[in-house]
Structure 1
């Protein structure tokens, strides 16, 4: 069964590119375009991994991550922050498993997803 990935970014262009890239590698991908939508999607079905942007209107990626990490039922959820932000320290402090830069690491995303899922 393919791994379930939730991609969260307020940019439809970014989510479409990431979805296409991950589906090429056999992952099942759902999309959310806000922090609130991500939390609602996870309440319906917990993915194996989430690819999360930082800068979004409303609830930002850091807060989404903190809320998920505060829920003991979601201990197995892996989170990769894919962002243009350079604040790696804040990302890891919020609880991400990995941090990738949109501009540099997008091509490496499927390999990083596989690696994190195997942890």
Structure 2
């Protein structure tokens, strides 16, 4: 089963997302900052990253840009799960999909499956 790294500075959000994805059999790891996410990816790249935008330190856009600049991470899929409404900035940073926390959380497992199946 694919491994998903969930990154959000809110432990409540990461716990909810983790529980939701584990219900579908995914292996879920957590990070609570951009810095933690980059370190976790460097140590053991996941199959997919679920990433918030607004975090202290390195924000989600910068995490995306750094990942997309690394040829070794070409196949890492990224879903931005955020309350931000700036879809354009998210796609320009390199995400594969964009979900709104307030609206799309229930659809997350389906979107994860679709993004993982992308060629």
TM-score after normalising by structure 2: 0.99
Runs of 4+ deviating beyond 3 Å: none
RMSD across aligned C-alpha pairs, in angstroms? 0.2
Which position in structure 1 is the counterpart of 2:95?
A: 96
Partner SS, residue 12 of structure 2 = helix
Is 1:48 aligned with 2:12? no
Unaligned runs of 5+ in 2: none
- CA drift of 1:57 comes to 0.1
In 2, Cα distance between the equivalents of 1:48 and 1:37? 17
Instruction: Kindly tell me the number of residue pairs found equivalent between the two proteins.
Output: 118
In 2, Cα distance between the equivalents of 1:45 and 1:107? 27
- CA drift of 1:8 comes to 0.1
Which position in structure 1 is the counterpart of 2:5?
A: 6
Is 1:61 aligned with 2:94? no
In 1, Cα distance between the equivalents of 2:108 and 2:44? 22
1:20-35 mapped onto 2 (5 Å cutoff): 20-35=19-34
Q: Deviations over 1:34-75 (max 9, x none)?
A: 000000000110000000000000000000000000000000
Unaligned runs of 5+ in 1: none
Partner SS, residue 51 of structure 1 = strand
